[in-house]
Amino acid sequence: MQKSDWKMILFVFYSSSHITQHTNELVLAVGTLTNRGFTS
């Protein structure tokens, strides 16, 4: 994975940390970045 991917994950995590309604979307976003890191 690239460092930019981790920065995006942290950004999404902190920006959504107080929005419990978007927990599933956060998980999907992290999963997408992780899968892209493994496949590319």
Beta-carbon contacts of residue 23 (< 8 Å; ≥ 6 apart): 16
The residue to which tokens 């493994």 are assigned: 38
| Helical packing angle, 3-16 and 23-39, nearest 10° | 180
Average pLDDT in the 13-31 region? 74
Q: What is the pTM of this model?
A: 0.36
Does residue 35 have a pLDDT over 60? yes
